[in-house]
Amino acid sequence: MTIAIIIPARFESVRLPGKPLALISGKPMIEWVVDSASKAKLANKIIVATEDERIFNFVKDNLKADPCMTSKSHKSGTDRVYEVVKKYPDIKYIINFQGDEPLMPSEYVDKVIKLLVDEKQDMASLIAPMFSIDDLNNPNVVKAVIDKDGYALYFSRSPIPFNRSESPANPQSYYRHIGIYGYSREALMHFNSLPPSHLEQLEQLEQLRALENGIKIKLDIVPKAYPAVDTVQDIKEVEKILASLKM
């Protein structure tokens, strides 16, 4: 049974061109991501999905992962992951590990795999408590609401649930979504056969396509979220965190 971590790594990032090869503490970001993925205990394959020969060749020559060339026309990382999975019929479970998450702990990957394999979930992801009012009001930080069994009810860029009381909102009463996804092969194929949904297009959140079409997303709670990299300033923040971890 193949459990694959697939890392979408697009060179043509709007805010940070060449992002997967951008240096973080002297090492390309894609190397940090693959290093973290390789420490996951439950996966047995790592694939970097890219549209660029520079990334392809760097992975092939330097990293313990299989590079896979994909179309330049994909609109999302999930589309890129889907193309890869079609080329590998042996893959049964898929982890979509974002290529701009160099600090994602490998334990988080294993948590998602356990939801897929042990709990037989079709689709799974992670959430963490919110610790900052600024994050709560930041539309780039996605919020999640779950039911009593840990399934996603909704994701939004707005602070949800709405706090109607006169007391200030306690950010730790809210959850933020962490951008790692797990799919069974069948669920990924079904998801990608669906057209973009109404709520997905309003919020610009792909996971809402699943909820609108009755695909349940099981969520596990982890202690904290780590910053992704979209800008040069994000790189500096990640470098500070890495430096603090070495102390």
Q: What is the pLDDT of residue 163?
A: 86
Give, to the nearest 10 degrees, the angle between helix 29-38 and helix 53-62: 50
Angle at 119 between CA 114 and CA 124, to 5 degrees: 65
pLDDT tens digits for range 118-139? 999 999 999 999 999 999 999 9
**What single letter denotes the amino acid at residue 74?**
H
Q: What percent of the chain has pLDDT over 70?
A: 99
pTM score of the predicted model: 0.95
What is the secondary structure of 157-207 as a DSSP string? SS-SS---SSSPP-GGGSEEEEEEEEEEHHHHHHHHHSPPPHHHHHHT-TH
List per-residue pLDDT tens for the chain, 247 residues long.
999 999 999 998 877 899 999 999 999 999 999 999 999 999 999 999 999 999 999 999 999 999 999 999 888 889 999 999 999 999 999 999 999 999 999 999 999 999 999 999 999 999 999 999 999 999 999 999 999 999 999 999 999 998 888 677 788 789 999 999 999 999 999 999 999 999 999 999 999 999 999 999 999 999 999 999 999 999 999 999 999 987 4
Neighbours of 193 (CB within 10 A): 9
Angle at 231 between CA 124 and CA 240, to 5 degrees: 85
Q: What is the pLDDT of residue 166?
A: 65
Q: What is the pLDDT of residue 247?
A: 47
Q: What is the phi/psi pair of residue 102, to 5°?
A: -70, -15
DSSP E strands: which ranges in the chain? 2-9, 23-24, 27-28, 45-50, 66-69, 91-97, 123-129, 143-146, 152-156, 175-184, 218-221
Q: What is the pLDDT of residue 164?
A: 84
Beta bridge partners of 144: 155, 175
**What single letter denotes the amino acid at residue 158?**
S
Give, to the nearest 10 degrees, the angle between helix 77-87 and helix 185-193: 130
